[in-house]
Amino acid sequence: MTQGIEVEVRGGNVEKAMRVLKKKMLKAGTLKEYRLKQYYRKPSEIKREKKKEGIKNYKKQKKLREARL
C-alpha cells in the first residue's frame, strides 16, 4: 500500500500549499513516474533510456571524484 503525500493549508493560502505539494511530489519522484507512465513505451526504449541514465550518472560521479582530488 502506498502512502499519500499530505500538505496542510495554513491561513487559507492555497497557492503556497500547492507549491509545497509540487516540491514534495518532485522530491518523491511521483511526478516523473506519472509522466513516464502516461504513454506506452516499448521495452527496448525503456532499456535504452535506463542505459543512457546510467552512463550519465557514472560520468557525473566520475567528475565529482576527480574534483575532490
Interval 9-49: pLDDT, tens: 999 999 999 999 999 999 998 888 888 899 999 999 999 99
Split at pLDDT 50, 70, 90, the class of 2 is: low
At residue 68, the pLDDT reads 86
Residue type at 36?
A: L
Split at pLDDT 50, 70, 90, the class of 69 is: confident
pTM over 0.95: no
Over range 2-10, report the average pLDDT. 84
- Contacts of residue 20, defined as CB under 8 A and 6 or more positions apart, other chains included, come to 7
Residue type at 68?
A: R
Q: Reduced to 3 DSSP states, what percent helix, strand and coil does the chain have, rounded to the nearest 5?
A: 70, 0, 30
